[in-house]
Amino acid sequence: MMVRYTEEELLKYKDAGSLPQGADLSGFVKMVEDVKVALAAVCENDENHFPNGRRRSSANHHRPIFRKNKHKEFLPRPDADGWITTAKTKKSFGSAEGEVSRDVFRESVKDSFVKAKPNNKNIGSSKPADPRDVIADKNTVTFNAFDALVDDEDDNEEGDEE
């Protein structure tokens, strides 16, 4: 059977306590006291270093860099009645209203289709992006000055020796 005690029943024995046999809590109590003293010393040390509760902003002999907001927001000024009117920014094709704008845009560019040839001049691969460039890039026979110096007669002589 489960033994239960109400708060009132337990309180009746408050002053009749005895520690478990062989138990000594003096070490624990001293340790808690020592921790309190050590933590107080740490706090005091911190206060001596930073009497204002914070580190000096120029503690390292140069001024801190405070970054300014790059995008400063300009709010409209209130009117005579103290009201501010803000314009709602238009979202690109994000709503039903946007769909109309999108269709208008598509219609406007429908007939102005521009054929663009890809430029692979600066691309690392030697493979042409456009297959028609294969023809343009094909090796061609060019004039070679050394070939031109060779006499036709030499060829004939060689043929005679054989």
Considering the complex, state which of residue 47 and residue 99 has its C-beta at the smaller distance from another protein: 47
Instruction: Mark the segment that binds another protein (CB under 8 A) among 17-25, 64-72, 88-96, 137-145.
Output: 17-25
CB of 49 to another protein, least distance (A): 17
Q: Are 29 and 19 in contact (CB under 8 A)?
A: no
Considering the complex, state which of residue 9 and residue 137 has its C-beta at the smaller distance from another protein: 9
CB of 54 to another protein, least distance (A): 16
Q: Tell me the per-residue interface mask from 24 to 63 with another protein, x by CB under 8 A, - otherwise.
A: xx-xxxxxx-xxxxxx--x---------------------
122-151 burial, b at 16+ Cβ within 10 Å, e below that, comes to eeeeeeeeeeeeeeeeeeeeeeeeeeeeee
Distance of CA 69 to the CA centre of its chain: 18
Distance CA 87, CA 76 (A): 10
Q: Are 38 and 45 in contact (CB under 8 A)?
A: no
Where along the sequence are the contacts to another protein (CB under 8 A)? 2-7, 9-11, 13-25, 27-32, 34-39, 42
